[in-house]
Amino acid sequence: MESKAADGGDKTAGNEAVPSHFIRNIVSEDLKQGKNGGRVHTRFPPEPNGYLHIGHAKSICLNFGLAAEFGGMCNLRFDDTNPSKEDIEYVESIKEDVRWLGFDWGDREFYASDYFAQLYDFAIQLIQSGKAFVCDLNAEQMREYRGTLTEPGKNSPFRDRSIDENLDLFRRMRAGEFPDGSRTLRAKIDMASPNINMRDPVMYRVLRASHHRTGDAWCIYPTYDFAHGQSDSIEGITHSICTLEFEDHRPLYDWFLDQLSIHHPQQIEFARLNITHTVLSKRKLLQLVQQEYVDGWDDPRMPTLAGFRRRGYTPEAIRNFCERIGVAKRNSVVDIAMLEHCLREDLNKRAPRVMAVLRPIKVVLENYPEGQIEELDAVNNPEDPAMGTRKIPFSRVFYIEQDDFREEPPKGFFRLSPGKEVRLRYAYIIKCVGVDKDPVTGAIQELRCTYDPETKSGSSRSGRKVKATIHWVSAAHAVEAEVRLYEHLFTKEDPEDVPERSDWLANINPNSLERLTSCRIEPYLVDAKPGSRYQFERLGYFCVDSEESPPTKLVFNRSVSLRDMWAKKEKTVGDSRRNRS
RNA sequence: UGGGGCGUAGCCAAGUGGUAAGGCACCGGUCUUUGGAUCCGGCAUUCGUAGGUUCGAAUCCUCCCGCCCCAGCCA
């Protein structure tokens, strides 16, 4: 990661100046005042119990971004203190995703479990100073003693055990003498605290679960509250950035560090990301996967980084998105259109253009010589001349998009219809002179057209203009492909917006995936590599699926559609017409 | 009715006593062999509400209203 001047504001994303945010201001101010000896050291601390999603990307960009910006470092630390939910599969995927996003933790790959021995010693220290005790209350009893939001709790009957007894009991907990859940080690703070987290919180529980790293070496595990701050401290973290729900834990975070008199990082909280038309909680994402509403964690409809990657999103687009949405303490829901915009903006500059017909109608050019083939020049990317040109074969029979023909064109439709003309991109102006239909079903079988030889693209012989240019693919040269179109996973902006006695699953969009299996793409793409991204002209950005696209049959995922003024106009015209009647 | 936070446009979000940045969305127009992109213009007389302080308030003070989080031996 490169280091830049530590000057706070005026960071750029694209070409726009992006204002600073409160966390950047805090770090900047700390540096100015010489805190932490001029060091900035952050960490990204996921629990390996699921795949990373775009909400994590916000945190990753924040933590790694701040470190890079101020010449500091950012650790990757797995917060693996609850073996019953965690798995090595998740740590692998997390590493892959952070790397894919473009960040590098160097040799600083840490695990809270690396510190189990040290944490145990810290616990002993607290017992010795009379600040922790072993409690025999079971979970239910502990709840009763805890009190409620409005009533203080009561001291545990075991709170006043002697230091020696506590030491002995804690060692025996660790030695495996007591069953799961029978005893806990608790901090001795204040059962009457208005902050429930300070009511003698649990530091250790007895739990016989095999840990993905430490195996069966331990049968007691530290809780988040006891492990997190001390892990931060051990690693020399300066700014411990987490989400809003931990605000109430900060006094406890500070308490442990103060009692232990060890390096004291500053915890800073920000609002987690929410996005319209999707869910962003591990629990719900897990449910979508397990109940097979989607195809797995990397289903292109999933808001996971693995899903976005397979969908064709670029790390740059996601990073830019994270920069643009800002960092604040206000709970908010970002419009998914913002994310889509970031992808289009990026791909517009770098994706080669290509022609593909998703829902083909056959067209025969009656006045074009049979057997003749022309090689037409096509620009690979009008935004970037350096990407060069390619040849596209043109012949008498080709396919166009069903949407580009209307037998009875509505007002404002200026594509092909009987007697009307359009330009074929990079080729000629054609006119529709006939429509062949199945005599039984009435379905359109093919269009009869004629072309004007004077109108070839690039030639100056004709100054003729037509209102529309459509894409096409020569029938004889077309490569057949499958294209998967995706829509939002949920029909409502807020998936939780449901009628009484229904839940978020009721808002799953039944049409979030559409598979088109007889698409025709230009031959230029026969050898397209998995993961490569293209713009299908006039349709959107697509990438070759990295899982199911063997050489024999190409499978494309639509990453995002192009903005479509006509579709929008037609929809609003349709809506107002419907409203009038 | 306890504690901790947060209220600036349809959605994000700057702003920290000197007269409301920027982005997304949306609406016009320009240009165009992608109804794409680009470019240009529009989009908060007002910052949850009501008072107060001040020459001057989104910024300071007070009341009120609304929303979020916390009663796991999850993180």
Active site residue A282: yes
- pLDDT above 90: percentage of residues in chain A: 91
Closest Cα partner for A81 from A223, A210, A184, A186? A223
Q: Which domains does chain A have, with CATH numbers?
A: 14-270 (3.40.50.620), 356-471 (2.40.240.10)
Active site residue A47: yes
Query: Is the distance from CB of A257 to CB of A264 less than 8 angstroms?
Result: yes
What confidence tens digit (pLDDT) does each residue in A245-287 have?
A: 999 999 999 999 999 999 999 999 999 999 999 999 999 999 9
**Which chain B positions come under 7 Å from a protein C-beta?**
1-8, 10-16, 21-27, 33-38, 67-75
- Per DSSP, the residues of A153-178 read ----TTTT--HHHHHHHHHHHHTT-S
Asked if strand B contacts A282 at the CB level, meaning under 7 A, the answer is: no
In three-state secondary structure terms, A445 is strand
Question: Which residues 521-540 on A are within 7 A of strand B at the CB atom?
Answer: 535, 537-538
Q: What is the pLDDT of residue A18?
A: 65
Q: Among the options A24, A43, A47, A131, which is catalytic?
A: A47
What confidence tens digit (pLDDT) does each residue in A17-40 have?
A: 567 999 999 999 999 999 999 999
For chain A, how big is the Rg over CA atoms in Å? 31
For chain A, what percentages of helix, strand and coil (3-state, to nearest 5) are there? 30, 25, 45
Asked if strand B contacts A197 at the CB level, meaning under 7 A, the answer is: yes
Q: What average pLDDT does this structure show over A354-383?
A: 97
Strand partners, A109: A76
- The DSSP 8-state label assigned to residue A548 in this structure reads S
β-pair type (A11-13, A16-18): antiparallel
H or E, element range at A96:
helix A88-101
pTM of the predicted model as reported, rounded to 2 decimal places = 0.95
Query: Is the distance from CB of A334 to CB of A273 less than 8 angstroms?
Result: yes
Strand partners, A534: A542
Asked if strand B contacts A377 at the CB level, meaning under 7 A, the answer is: no
Closest Cα partner for A363 from A409, A439, A418? A418
Amino acid code (one letter) for A171: R
pLDDT band at A463 (very low <50, low <70, confident <90, very high): confident
Q: What is the pLDDT of residue A2?
A: 34
Query: Is the distance from CB of A94 to CB of A48 less than 8 angstroms?
Result: yes
Question: Which residues 219-278 on A are within 7 A of strand B at the CB atom?
Answer: 221, 223-225, 227-228, 244-249, 271
Question: Which residues 107-126 on A are within 7 A of strand B at the CB atom?
Answer: none
Closest Cα partner for A83 from A217, A257, A280, A235? A217
Nucleotide of closest approach to A424 (CA, C1'): B33
Protein CA at A334 to nucleotide C1' at B45, angstroms: 28
β-pair type (A397-401, A266-270): unpaired
Q: Among the options A35, A108, A154, A272, which is catalytic?
A: A272
Strand partners, A389: A379
Distance between CA atoms of residues A228 and A178, nearest Å: 25
Protein CA at A152 to nucleotide C1' at B51, angstroms: 37
SS (H, E, C) A235-276: CCCCEEEEEHHHHHHHHHHHHHHHHHCCCCCEEEEECCCCEC
- The answer, yes or no, to whether residue A577 has pLDDT greater than 80, is no
H or E, element range at A353:
strand A353-354
**Class of residue A147 by CB neighbours under 10 A (exposed 0-12, middle 13-18, buried 19+):** middle
Distance between CA atoms of residues A228 and A75, nearest Å: 14
- The answer, yes or no, to whether residue A9 has pLDDT greater than 60, is no
Query: Is the distance from CB of A493 to CB of A277 less than 8 angstroms?
Result: yes
Asked if strand B contacts A149 at the CB level, meaning under 7 A, the answer is: yes
Query: Is the distance from CB of A173 to CB of A197 less than 8 angstroms?
Result: no
- The answer, yes or no, to whether residue A196 has pLDDT greater than 90, is yes
Asked if strand B contacts A353 at the CB level, meaning under 7 A, the answer is: yes
Amino acid code (one letter) for A206: V
What confidence tens digit (pLDDT) does each residue in A491-509 have?
A: 999 999 988 788 999 999 9
Q: Among the options A146, A282, A301, A396, which is catalytic?
A: A282
- pLDDT above 70: percentage of residues in chain A: 94
Q: What average pLDDT does this structure show over A337-360?
A: 98
